[in-house]
Amino acid sequence: MPTSSSDAGAWFIDGDGWCNMARREVSPNCDERPDGCVTDLLVVHNISLPPGVFGGPYIADLFCNRLDYEADPYFDQLRPLRVSAHFLIRRDGEVVQFVSANRRAWHAGVSVFDGRERCNDFSIGIEVEGTDHEPFAEAQYPALARLTAALRERYALTDVAGHEHIAPVRKTDPGPFFDWGRYRNELAKIIDGAQLRFPAGLVKSQAAGTEKFEK
């Protein structure tokens, strides 16, 4: 559902935590956030199922506990998993929502941000369909920016991080091909970029094993 930048303001999150521009597939892999918890962190992931294969039903099937584990040899190791992000952004820019952003989706696992553990408690997770080994699609960045802006309007978001930043060594996504500068530039077309803090400075990409500069 790619759309033009001029309609960015048409994107919103309703009071129940659902995005009006997202296709909805409801996942059971979620629960209530702790009482009094402020949702202030956005976490960016990447995912492809099977690894390196784009399109198809398998990501949604995994998040909704209906994956056919016999469909690919890789899937056998996924049998114990009960996971879901709040959102998935497909290669063509389509947004799929699995969990209300008001609730806690099971996306981050063991994680720490700014000294706070259990990032699922206070974060919103967005999966961007892709891998650590190739560029993301052009249509994904404006969709991610529009979704981010809509979430910022509804929730007290202050920071954006990659999964690799909150679970270093254990996780590598969104990886060295995710263009943080492009993401910020797209977002700046919609909202004041100063409203959110992004990964900054010279950091080590867990995926690449080399240093990179994240704007």
> Can you give the three-state secondary structure of 14-31, one letter per residue?
CCCCCECCCEECCCCCEE
- Radius of gyration of the chain from Cα atoms? 16
Written as one string, the DSSP assignment of 129-179 is E--SSSPPPTTHHHHHHHHHHHHHHHS---EEEEHHHHSTTT--TT-TTS-
| 54/46 Cα distance (integer angstroms) | 11
Residue showing tokens 């956005």: 42
Q: Cβ(118)–Cβ(49) under 8 Å?
A: no
CB atoms within 10 A of CB 82: 12
Q: Which residues contact 124 (CB under 8 A, 6 or more apart)?
A: 39, 41, 42, 43, 86, 87, 101, 105, 151, 155, 157
Annotated catalytic residues are: 127
Residues with Cβ < 8 Å from 69, sequence gap 6 or more? 75, 76, 78, 79
